[in-house]
Structure 1
Amino acid sequence: MSQREKKNQEAVYESESEFIEKLVAIKRTAKVVKGGSRFNFSAIVVVGDGKGSVGYGLGKAKEVPEAIRKATDQAQKQMIKVEIKDGRTIFHETIGRFGAGNVVLRPASAGTGIIAGGSMRPIFEAIGISDVLAKSTGTSNPHNLIKATFAALQNISPPKRVAAKRGLAAKNVRIRD
């Protein structure tokens, strides 16, 4: 099979998937053995449907494509549902923490775009959020930032859910912009 056929085959494979797959990081590790070094690869992948579902996965293997495949499979198994306001942003400001990673997510007005750094941007792109302000502090480790971002996203509650918890009508719960 020629290189061109392989590229065409990969493109078809990606278009058949109903998920948006974003590769966040690839890391090479080395184990020193008697004959030299043995390399392994780990990959972090974020998978989403663009409609509010997102998941992340970590895959490890001796080859990069295999690590990416394992990470993608794990991400699809661990998907969560995130409520999105007007199909473009989050409902309210929220904070997420994991390890030394801290993230603050804020809703943004229409047309702002995704203002987020590092490992957070692929998460928002995979979810389908187009307007959000995000700040990460503490660490730049992609593992901890992704887990902190997921913790923050799981804290988001739409007004209907808040109203149900408080025993109020949904129109009586006010979301500050």
Structure 2
Amino acid sequence: MSQQNRKFSQADENEEAPEFVEKVVHINRCAKVVKGGRRFSFSALVVVGNQKGEVGVGYGKAKEVPECIRKGTEQAKKNLVTIKLRGDTIPHHVMGQADGGKVLLRPASDGTGVIAGGGCRAVLESVGIKNILSKSLGSNNHLAMVNATMDALLQLRSNEEIQNIRFGEVAAEV
């Protein structure tokens, strides 16, 4: 394949999903000691979202950094989930847990902004949340924090769903 064709094919791939925001949370370098020295490999934790309620997390591994970021992005796009929001915040407070990481998310009023750190912030901004308070508890491992944040967001329910759970279908009719 000539250089010119490669440029066009890469441009076509990028035009597929321009609405997605890609955030690299963490890149890890791993070394394997062999007879001749050290062999390095890389892993990347990537969060992808459309800032309209969809987000996905991917973890890519490769011998070079750009390749592991690409693999992580592809995996994140395959793992997209839809999150229920209320305006630009979440409907209720929620606690998520994954491995040793715990994340507490609380809705916030307009003008508060995203008060979160590290991987938690990347996930919340990719979803499209503008006002939220968060507290990370337990482990501060990047992967654990991202997965705990995703767990918390997947627990969110709309007001109608909560009423149906509490009172059954009768409440929806009234």
| TM-score bucket (shorter structure) | 0.7 to 0.9
Q: Which stretch shows the higher mean deviation, 14-23 or 94-103?
A: 14-23
Partner of 1:44: helix, strand, or coil? Answer: strand
Once the two structures are superposed, the pairs formed by residues 79-118 of structure 1 within 5 Å of their partners are 79-86=80-87, 88-118=88-118
1:59 aligns with 2:68: no
CA displacement at 1:16 relative to structure 2: 5.7
1:72 aligns with 2:73: yes
Q: Percent identity?
A: 49
Q: Which residue of 2 aligns with 1:24?
A: 25
Gaps of 5+ in 2: 1-6
Gaps of 5+ in 1: 1-5, 173-177
Give TM-score, length-normalised by structure 1. 0.86
Report the CA distance shift for 1:21/1:14 in structure 2 as closer, same or farther (over 3 A): farther
CA displacement at 1:116 relative to structure 2: 0.4
Once the two structures are superposed, the pairs formed by residues 1-177 of structure 1 within 5 Å of their partners are 13=14, 17-86=18-87, 88-165=88-165, 166-167=167-168, 168-169=170-171
Partner of 1:66: helix, strand, or coil? Answer: helix
**Alignment root-mean-square deviation, CA:** 2.1
Corresponding letter in the other structure for 2:26 = A
Distance 1:112 1:101 in 2: 24
After superposition, the C-alpha distances for 1:4-50 in whole angstroms (9 at most, x for unaligned) are xx9xx88x948962211111000000000000000000000000011
Distance 1:123 1:16 in 2: 18
Distance 1:170 1:112 in 2: 33
Give TM-score, length-normalised by structure 2. 0.87
